[in-house]
Structure 1
């Protein structure tokens, strides 16, 4: 059997193996210039481009720089996902059905993102409207996993995850409406925090949803990069309805009650490597003095079907109102098979069951919140198995087969989107094939601090796998 093909750009240039925190320090102390860092990132992005196909738009000659140099991550190169407006760059939402012109202004969330001081070098690829769990397309080349290019890098923030894992940039924008930060983070061996609902400024699409399931964030290679990024955002705007997060700088000493969930919300079977990674994480947490005990899934057995119906509503809105809400160029004849199938299912009768599904989803959110009456943290898989081969979740797979595969794979993450609770994916293991395996920790609404403290402790005790090793 041939060895898996890995793609990365780590070398002895000025980026080296530095994370975003270190690069920001080097720029701030003038040991490196922002221009040097930017040029090195562009060179790396160009190097990995033929193998990863992860860029939706390249702005190397006209990057979007922060208006001031006071951000905590000033001079750090980054990317923004292709569903968020950045002035001077088109926003195509990962869809071949849209041919957008460059945005005339920054989106609501992009303004907060830019306040960190980072330099945006372009847009990262995503599947159409973020509906799929693999960064694959109707006709264009997929974005593969840099750890093994025959496998998926997850989605919907797959382009960002691929380029951070490959070392092209240390940090990149991601957002999460059903696992879209955590799933690619797990597939690519990264840290991926989905914040609490309302922790940061909502993007334009999130503000109109019946249940706001979308939150914004980043994927990174270190916990401290994620922690500093979220602290930096609070300097621009902080939600007064949530406890301040501030800068979390390391583990805490307190001992926690951890609930471990091994059963999925979709009756999916968790594969053996993922079970082993979960059990190993539980053992590490116990060795730190935490108490871990199994608990059942706290939601109705219909949760998976209800979330799928909600997904159908979102596909209907994207297809039928997308010319108003996204871009006038939207051509519904060019929608991919997943979007079109979800949309057709909604219009052919799914809409009748949607009000009841929304009611049950709201009840599921309340039921999930009760877990934290007796526990501080929930431990579970991110997805039911290691990253699948490319093609397994392609939008060209017959619709019914694809939906069944998605429900069997995306079996844990949607619950935190519906509840609004924070959750983090951590790279806790490698499979025998050399693919990263993520494990998920979630906490009560507004308690990202506990998740970051635990993440620091696990990173210290069991350092993350490195793609260049």
Structure 2
């Protein structure tokens, strides 16, 4: 197989070739390394392609038999591998634990061959850090790939691997999916176990999953990674059938709540609003019922994100003490140092955070109960230039100010981290300049099945896999 052929397949397609013995898992790993060597110097998405990648194993079966996979450098861990969290504080640290997530990856046939860039602690919507530099968007290197799963998104968008691990605590899968032209699902709270050490991380706000190019890969990944483990705080309702079987099931007629107004301080670009309207028209042509939905919240998200700095400060102190390292300007970036200091001095506010979470979940849950799905922008704008006030490397803002501007940009995504609803960004449109525009579909709690079906319908009606970014592995110079 040539590299130009490798990049044309999604993960399901590559696995079918391995199953048919038309290509081997080792050959796919070599092609992934070739793609990495060709495009990564330009996009800076992969910080380590494992030297022993060709000896990495996975189950010789499963929906992803032999497919190369990448790990985001924060969250679930692989025993013995570096896990630096995008931070100088954790430079050269190795994990001693295999997370359930990567055990399931191997069982599903995935071969994890490297790790991808993140902003420090995954706390920014732009993947830039002092430790590993800036990740470029394969569609336009002058623009951000998003964050915090920006390295994963850029790697998949440029063709290094067809699927990669991501995590989402406020839009960190869906933002880079939107800006890099990918499919990015944030599953329901409890769908993917965070065990053995991070079950229900951040009280359910943060969930792990993947970024990929096709809906069938998303469905297959749900089958691979879903399922409870001992120690999980609750067991979410389980699916009626494998998610890949939902690809052949009828969708039915849905009540769709359409967000045609902004939900935060940041204005929505006209091209993004046009993409929402166009998608709403398409859904209406499919027989679904459209109804406008008003903004779901005011400023509760700001209080919640800022309040979590209390917990972050405690965990950072514990980690630094265990490593024998100091927390200061030499180990933390400016904004995260300010968050640490704010959290260290605000520990009595924990009760306020829990009440804000409870209240917001209740109010939003009631507001959207009448709808089967919601249709919103993923981001209020297409990919923005690197740098500025959205990065944790900017020393000019206070923790409170940075929190406000970041929350304004994640106005459609962060709310569903709080409520636990599943939501997927689909690459439904492009700007006049050729940048991807993601549209978010939100499902009922625990109902990824409907999202699989409606995403399949939209992909069929307006295919996107033929679009290629400027940086694309295997393309003749």
**Normalized against structure 1, the TM-score is what?**
0.91
Task: Give the alignment partner of residue 255 of structure 1, picking from 253, 256, 263.
Answer: 253
CA distance in 2, matches of 1:119, 1:421: 29
Q: How does 1:394-409 map to 2 (within 5 A)?
A: 394-397=391-394, 398-400=396-398, 402-409=402-409
Please tell me whether the aligned partners of residues 79 and 123 of structure 1 are also in contact (alpha carbons under 8 angstroms).
yes
1:332 aligns with 2:327: yes
Q: In 2 relative to 1, CA 412–330 (structure 1 residues): closer, same or farther, beyond 3 Å?
A: farther
Please tell me whether the aligned partners of residues 184 and 426 of structure 2 are also in contact (alpha carbons under 8 angstroms).
yes
Q: In 2 relative to 1, CA 205–338 (structure 1 residues): closer, same or farther, beyond 3 Å?
A: farther
* Bigger mean CA deviation after superposition, 55-64 or 20-29: 55-64
1:243 aligns with 2:238: yes
Q: How does 1:402-441 map to 2 (within 5 A)?
A: 402-441=402-441
Aligned position for 1:153: 145
SS of structure 1 residue aligned to 2:283: helix
Task: Give the alignment partner of residue 91 of structure 1, picking from 83, 92, 114.
Answer: 83
Aligned position for 1:3: none
1:466 aligns with 2:458: no
Unpaired stretches in structure 1, ≥5 consecutive residues: 1-9
SS of structure 1 residue aligned to 2:271: helix
Q: In 2 relative to 1, CA 390–290 (structure 1 residues): closer, same or farther, beyond 3 Å?
A: same
Q: How does 1:223-302 map to 2 (within 5 A)?
A: 223-234=215-226, 241-244=236-239, 246=242, 247=244, 248-250=246-248, 252-299=250-297, 301-302=298-299
CA distance in 2, matches of 1:180, 1:206: 17
Q: CA deviation at 1:250?
A: 4.4
Task: Give the alignment partner of residue 316 of structure 1, picking from 292, 313, 318.
Answer: 313
Q: In 2 relative to 1, CA 206–144 (structure 1 residues): closer, same or farther, beyond 3 Å?
A: same
SS of structure 1 residue aligned to 2:6: coil
Unpaired stretches in structure 2, ≥5 consecutive residues: 471-477
Q: How does 1:57-456 map to 2 (within 5 A)?
A: 57-62=48-53, 65-83=56-74, 84-138=76-130, 140-203=132-195, 206-207=198-199, 209=201, 211-234=203-226, 241-244=236-239, 246=242, 247=244, 248-250=246-248, 252-299=250-297, 301-323=298-320, 328=323, 331-333=326-328, 334-349=331-346, 351-392=347-388, 393-397=390-394, 398-400=396-398, 402-456=402-456
Q: CA deviation at 1:237?
A: 6.4
Q: CA deviation at 1:332?
A: 1.7
Task: Give the alignment partner of residue 34 of structure 1, picking from 20, 25, 31.
Answer: 25
CA distance in 2, matches of 1:227, 1:447: 13
Please tell me whether the aligned partners of residues 134 and 158 of structure 1 are also in contact (alpha carbons under 8 angstroms).
yes
Q: CA deviation at 1:12?
A: 4.9
Q: CA deviation at 1:107?
A: 1.9
CA distance in 1, matches of 2:124, 2:283: 32
Q: CA deviation at 1:323?
A: 3.3
CA distance in 2, matches of 1:304, 1:235: 29
CA distance in 2, matches of 1:110, 1:356: 35
SS of structure 2 residue aligned to 1:21: helix
Please tell me whether the aligned partners of residues 143 and 159 of structure 1 are also in contact (alpha carbons under 8 angstroms).
yes
Q: CA deviation at 1:81?
A: 0.8
